[in-house]
Chain A
Amino acid sequence: MNFPYRMYIVSSSDTGELVPMLRPEINVRIYGPAGDADALALVDTGSDKSIFPMSFASDVGITTTPGTGLGALTFGGHGMPLEYADVELEIPEFDPPLRWRTRLYFADISEETEQAILGHNGFLDYFTATFDGEECSLELVPNSDLPLVELTPQ
């Protein structure tokens, strides 16, 4: 399935003027005991883990466990403590929707950079992902490692 890149209008790093920027983001649904929430998440081959803002966990009632390891290192060398939880994630645009259970990481990210990141663990490991720069779209094909959750007919 193909997902068009999303456009943002951002401040140019070169000149400061407002310029368009395209990035591979898809809509994902995260399930918790108190409900579910949909959000656009960046598909990021540079991220080893899939990391969501803590605000997502709070809103759908997910209880997270503080990691006792070193957390993660971000670009520029900043350390980031992570908490984790085993959750169900879904891409509702697939027909039928693709839902799987995986470990996600959560971080108290600063307000400006608070966004959901779909990295290798929890996401890219389960797909063949083709980034088409010319068509500005991302093709995702699930592989046999995807730990699918059986959906109950409604």
Chain B
Amino acid sequence: MRMTLEEYKKRFPGRPDPPPPEYAGQWVAWNREQSRILAHGYEFAEVRAQARAAGCERPIMQKVISVPFIGAA
């Protein structure tokens, strides 16, 4: 489905925001509500540890993709 970010937010209020595209290729660690990014970087373990050190015991990790995905390579 093609829609702009503004259309998405209007149509589906309350859904999590996309991760910032400037973090492409990195892991981001969200708080449990997925409303705030606590840490970001290229190493999964390091980013998760930073988020836990910031007070979130179980951050939700997300890999920020930068291009459409069509299968692992």
Do A and B assemble together? yes
Given known pairs A4-B12, A36-B58, A59-B48, the reply for A9 and B5 (CB within 8 Å) is yes
- A75-B71 Cα distance, complex, nearest whole Å: 6
Scoring B residues 1 to 28 as 1 if CB is less than 8 Å from chain A, else 0, what string do you get?
1111100100010011111110001000
> How many A residues have CB within 8 A of the partner chain?
50
Residues of chain B lying within 8 A (CB to CB) of residue A43:
none
- A53-B42 Cα distance, complex, nearest whole Å: 13
> How many B residues have CB within 8 A of the partner chain?
36
Q: Please, could you name 26 A-B residue pairs with CB atoms under 8 Å apart, sorted by A?
A: A4-B12, A6-B16, A6-B62, A8-B19, A8-B21, A9-B20, A10-B68, A11-B67, A20-B2, A20-B5, A20-B8, A38-B59, A39-B60, A46-B71, A47-B72, A53-B44, A56-B44, A75-B72, A107-B72, A110-B73, A111-B25, A112-B66, A113-B72, A113-B73, A114-B63, A136-B12
